[in-house]
Amino acid sequence: MNETLEPGLYIVATPIGNLSDLSPRAGQVLAAADLIAVEDSRVTAKLLHHLGVKRPMLPYHDHNADRMRPELIARMATQAVALVSDAGTPLISDPGFKLVRDARAAGVPVTTLPGPCAAVAALTLAGLPTDRFLFLGFLPAKAAARAQAIAEVAAVRATLVLYESGPRLGDCLAALAAGLGEREAAVAREISKRFEECVTGTLDELAARYTEAPPKGEIVVIVAPPGDAPAPDADAIDAALAEALTRLPPAKAAGEVAKATGADRKALYARAMALKGGG
């Protein structure tokens, strides 16, 4: 017998490959929900068939979200509404954040059921730094816009994570190589499926490989952060500290400049005190 759910919004992560990756709790919520908001009912129907249940579904995607959102919010007052994407965690490069925002504004309880996420799974496969990472979703398809988007993150000292399609992968990797230089990277595809693979190399090497043989399947690209930056110029640091001291006390000025330049905070504080005292 299905568990009874309280009215509200339930964000349910679904498998990105093997259907057995669905958590028992997620399965229970999908089986008990009064309504499931889905990207594609055909995709979610396969998951429900795997669970051996049938539940009402209502399409919710980029093309109808503005129209369907008020209806879903209204239903949440008396019904348990589950939100799923075609695969993975809803809201991660998928529609949904406006639904969560409006549900909260309407006083609707929101519950999340964590689970599979292709971006995070690919990070665990790549063997690249994971202490800091930036998720970029899909880069623009047009070359000029894509190059601009890459330039905006070129100096970010974090591992970059992005999604891409098979036919565009070679061009995407070549653009990344042109905009970021010789960095280590990984291409993960078919995660949690029979033919899962994670290929590593430099951006140039991977661009050559996948330009010649575009792959199929869902793809995640992971790019290593930039190498060690050169030491900040002492005159530039003094200028930054002097400017910060016009607005902030020495300790906070040192902290602000340390964050911006990567320089040692204690040394910056000592220099800030010297500048403050005219030394």
Query: pLDDT digits over 44-63, tens only?
Result: 999 999 999 999 999 999 89
Q: Which residues pair with 8 in a beta bridge?
A: 80
Taking the C-alpha atoms of residue 66 and residue 71, their distance in angstroms, rounded to an integer, is 10
Region 156-184: mean pLDDT is 95
Region 204-231: mean pLDDT is 87
Q: Does domain 118-223 have CATH number 3.30.950.10?
A: yes
Give the mean pLDDT of the chain: 92
Share of the chain above pLDDT 90, in %: 78
- Residue 182 predicted with pLDDT over 60: yes
Residue type, 200: T
Q: For residue range 194-215, list pLDDT tens digits in order.
A: 999 999 999 999 999 999 999 9
- Residue 98 predicted with pLDDT over 80: yes
CATH number of the 8-113 domain: 3.40.1010.10
- Residue 230 predicted with pLDDT over 70: no
Report domain extents, the chain: 8-113, 118-223, 234-276
The predicted pLDDT at position 1 comes to: 40
The predicted pLDDT at position 275 comes to: 87
- Residue 279 predicted with pLDDT over 70: no
Give the predicted TM-score (pTM) of the model.
0.78
Share of the chain above pLDDT 70, in %: 96
User: To the nearest 10°, the Cα dihedral for 127, 128, 130, 132?
Assistant: 180
Burial of 204 (0-12, 13-18, 19+ CB in 10 A): middle
- Residue 122 predicted with pLDDT over 90: yes
Asked if 8-113 and 118-223 have one fold, the answer is: no
- Residue 229 predicted with pLDDT over 50: no
The predicted pLDDT at position 238 comes to: 86
Asked if 268 and 245 count as a contact pair (C-beta separation under 8 A), the reply is: no
